Amino acid sequence: MQKQIKIPLPTLKRYSKYLMVLESISDTWVSTTLLNLYTDSLPITIRKDLAYLSIKGTPQKGYPRVKLIKKIEKIIRGETTRDLILIGSWGLGDIILKQPKIYLKEYNLRVCFDYVDNKIDGLIPIYPMERLKDLIPRLGIKTAIFSINSDKSDKVLSILKETGIKGIININQSIISVDDSVKIINYSLINSVHELIGHIES
C-alpha cells in the first residue's frame, strides 16, 4: 500500500488561494504564471505545491483546471464531516452566526455556545456554555470556531479538548493555545491588514 504524503500547512493555505482563482475563471487550462498573478506565490512554489496533486502539466498549456479544482477540493475540504460549532457570538462570531452560508460556504454551522440562555429562534441555535460537555460528544463535531475573549477562555478550551475537538479557528485578537492534540489557527483581521499595507508600502 502506497504511503500517503503529508502536505505541509503552508501549501494547504496556498491551495485555498489557488482554488479561489480556479473557480473564478473558465479557462480549460491554467498556468503557474496566471496563478502567480492572482496569488503572489512564486511560480516555482506553485509548481512544488501542484506536484503533491499528481496532476501533470502540459507544455504551452499548463494544468487542466477542472482536475485541479476537484483534487484541491478533495484535499482541503475533505471527505469527512463538514459540521462546525461556534464558541461565542461576539465580534466576527456574530457576523458568521447571522450569515453562515455566506462566510462558511458549504460548511455546516450546527450550533453556537455562549454565556446566554437557550436561544433557538434564529438560523443557528445558541446554547449556554454549560451544555458544551453534553452536546459536543453527541454531535460528534471535531472543529470549532472560537470567538470569546475573556478570562474564561482557558476553561472553555480545556472543555473543547476534553470533548473531542481536534481543530480550532481562533478569530479573536488574542492568541490562544492548548497542546499538540488540538490544531489551532489564530486568525487576526488587523494583522492581515498590517501585512498587506506593509507589502504595499515596501
Cα–chain-centroid distance for residue 199? 24
On whether the CB atoms of residues 149 and 173 are closer than 8 A, the answer is yes
**What's this model's pTM, rounded to 2 decimal places?**
0.65
Read off φ and ψ for residue 10, nearest 5 degrees.
Answer: -60, -35
- Domain stop point among 20, 55, 75: 75
User: Are both 89 and 41 inside the same structural domain?
Assistant: no
Digit-by-digit pLDDT tens for the chain (202 residues) are 345 678 888 898 899 889 889 988 899 999 999 999 999 899 999 999 999 999 999 999 999 999 999 998 888 766 445 889 999 988 888 889 888 888 888 788 989 999 876 565 567 888 899 989 988 998 889 999 999 877 788 999 999 999 999 999 999 888 898 999 999 999 888 888 888 898 898 7
Instruction: Rounding to the nearest 10 degrees, give the CA dihedral for residues 24, 72, 170, 131.
Output: 110
What does the pLDDT read at residue 189? 82
Q: Are residues 100 and 69 in the same domain?
A: no
> What is the pLDDT, as a whole number, of residue 99?
86
- Which structural domain range is residue 97 located in? 83-191
Q: pLDDT at position 77, please?
A: 63
Residue 1's pLDDT is 38
Provide the domain count of the chain: 2
36 in the same domain as 19: yes
Domain with residue 153: its CATH number is: 3.40.50.720
* pLDDT value, residue 78: 60
Q: Residue 143 forms beta bridges with which residues? A: 167
- CATH number for the domain that contains residue 44: 1.10.10
- Whether 139 is in a domain gets the answer yes
